[in-house]
Chain A
Amino acid sequence: MPCLEKKVLEQALNIQIEVLEILDEVLSLKGRAQQFSAATVLLGALPELDSMGVLGVISALEERFGIAVEDDDIDGTTFSTVGSLVAYVSGKLNPQVA
């Protein structure tokens, strides 16, 4: 289904743009997040991402994407990179694809 794949790819790009906006706002990065790529390491590399930061990002993701983050989803692998966070949101939005 190449058509579906293209759609998912486009959606992933849009999700990444929104995720970066959220990181920038919640973590007060003042535009630095716009330089991030999917490979950018978050947890452990970004000092602003402390426990309150994680909580703020989760709340913002829930609000912006209308998803419900489960207790077990709050995991080191989810927050490890920009790419893993985007993949997590995509998975929540498209459970059949993930």
Chain B
Amino acid sequence: MDILLTEDQRLLQDSTRRFLEKRSPVSAARRLVSSQAALDREAWREGAELGWLSLFAPEAYGGLAESAEGAVDAAIIAEELGRVVFAGPFLPVSVVAFALAEAGSPAQQEAHLAELAAGEKIAAWCFPAEAEAGAVTTQPAEGGFVLEGSVFAVQDAELADLLLVTAADGRELSQFLVSKDTPGISVTPLVTLDIARRLAEVRFDGVRIGADALVGVAEGAADLVERQLQLALVLQAAETVGVIDRALEFTLDYAKQRVAFGRAIGSFQAIKHRFADHAVRLEGAKAATAYAAKAVQARAADAGAAASIAKSHTARHGVDIIRDCLQIHGGIGMTWDHDIHFYLRRAVSNEALWGTPAAHHDRLSRLAGL
């Protein structure tokens, strides 16, 4: 995260790290995978007690929005979650809480924000995986709307009680908050490369919803959706930073201990210079992500560009660095029992979700007026 943290931010970082090392290390993700369980609910609620999910909800709903620096603080937590390849729905719950706090109706806020903050309710953010809104369509219907279509690769949709759906009516975007058990909604779990992350396909077959499901203004959600995407990209980039940071740490330890030809392998320039290069790129990832978090939090004019820049850099170099960390481990890195594949799976998954680096390069061209 940012090179200079406030006292509060350092506390948040330390308490999150200590909690995760104790309650949810990589071995916990491993256990979830082998038991095919979805989430350690108890650990999730304890995380909520630490304030993870309260950053965007106002105090009236048990949140900390007034005193927290939403996107910046959430990015600090996301980075820590990345270090242990955490399996839970931090990102979607944060983005949906952010959306509701910003544009939800009083009834929606009243009904959901406190329970989201307490970790008792889970929400999924149904945003098209390719970062282009509009895979779900909406038509006005008597007393509300009808949703049709599907969204591929929605994080933690199986766990969710609520879905925040972005739908297009012609060219305009609207957003709806719907209960997952609404008739016509089906959630199909997908087989995921990142085995510590659950993704699902969510289908909407003639789903009829009331007008009270609308978040913000009908056909006027484009700016809301953009800001949610920015926050999602910042949290994803921060998570990737944590993933790289930790993988590089244990790979460095290994290179200092593993001896070949009478020397620690980290003393060979063929290895040492690669580590130096990785450290440089990791520093860039931290700098770009910290800036993007602040820009998104401040609603700066360059927040959209900053989020895409952080995404492109962290995704591209994150995968590259961790692939090389695996290489430096040699044969042991190819085994199921070594943790590094969890890190690499998460990095590769984050690279593809919500726009590949190339998609964001195109987006940057658009933002520059090309």
A is bound by B = no
Chain A residues with CB under 8 Å of chain B are none
